[in-house]
Amino acid sequence: MPNSAKPMPRELADGVFWLGDCLEQRAKGKIYHSYNAAFLLCGTEASMLIETGHPKDFPIIERQLRGLLAGRAPLKYLFVTHQETPHSGGLGRVLARYPEAILCGDMSDYHLAFPQFADRMLPMISGDEIDLGGRTFVAVEPVIRDLRTTWWGFDSKERVLFPGDGFAYSHYHEDGHCGLLAEEAISLDLADVSAVFADRALFWTKFTDMKLYVDRLQWLCDRLDVKAIAPTHGLPILNVPKTMPRLQEGLLYGSSVPESGTETGLAPAKV
């Protein structure tokens, strides 16, 4: 029985909002949906936008952001997990539209792309904190990196982990998964959709021992006492003890599936 898709944005926990829209991709003869999500974290003194979404999503995210900020603390911080376009594609427009906002995270090369905003950049490394009023945002270890510059984030109040490309997977549009939590998408095959995403975006996972990463993810979640996970490319997770084993299974399965390669269908080279 298909689920009923939920409209965005959604409040995941007190003051934690999920923004964005689906991205369609074709794989294995069917259409998979995934997210290049952004998240709004609201304190009593300041709000922070985590990720900016893909450039195509920015008009939607900007509209959602304006609605959510009405009556809440002003947007003073922007944290981007890394410089890849699906995560930072709206960076310049956010900084232009919110002149009080400061860009946080790894600042490599941002000053070259946006020299006009070079004085509004705050480098962060693991353990660095930002007080938003009533809650603290902390930069934490990125167990799964997409780029060497990757950092993850953590909300101290609701204990939400923002893992960027960690826990990346697609979902089934035809089953009504759009806008759902992982626990609400009852027909979701996490092993299957994790393998699809790994094949297209995290190909390196097929050439390493993912058990090491699975164990480190569990260690990080235990150390931080994570209560919810808000991945950029997957459905949010609010029941970590229930869903984490399925995610771990998906990571291990995705690494075991043969890599489809980028030259499928090309004629053999002539010698």
**At 14, which CATH number?**
3.60.15.10
* 9 preceded by a cis bond (ω within 30 of 0): yes
Q: Are 237 and 217 in contact, with CB atoms under 8 Å apart?
A: no
Share of the chain above pLDDT 70, in %: 83
Q: How far is CA 150 from CA 79, 81, 93, 108, 256, in A?
A: 11, 5, 21, 10, 24
What is the average pLDDT score of the chain? 86
**Residues 164-173: what's their mean pLDDT?**
76
pLDDT at 172 over 50: yes
**Residues 96-124: what's their mean pLDDT?**
96
pLDDT at 271 over 60: no
| 3-state secondary structure (DSSP) of residue 194 | helix
Is residue 1 in a domain?
no
Residue 14 is part of which domain span?
10-256
pLDDT digits (tens, 9 = 90+) for 227-263: 999 998 888 999 999 988 888 887 776 556 665 554 4
Is residue 3 in a domain?
no
pLDDT of residue 29: 65
Bigger pLDDT: 127 or 87? 127
Is residue 241 in a domain?
yes
115, burial (CB in 10 Å: exposed 0-12, middle 13-18, buried 19+): exposed
Is residue 30 in a domain?
yes
Q: What's the structural domain count of the chain?
A: 1
Is residue 269 in a domain?
no
Is residue 268 in a domain?
no
Is residue 164 in a domain?
yes
pLDDT of residue 208: 80
Bigger pLDDT: 81 or 187? 81
Is residue 261 in a domain?
no
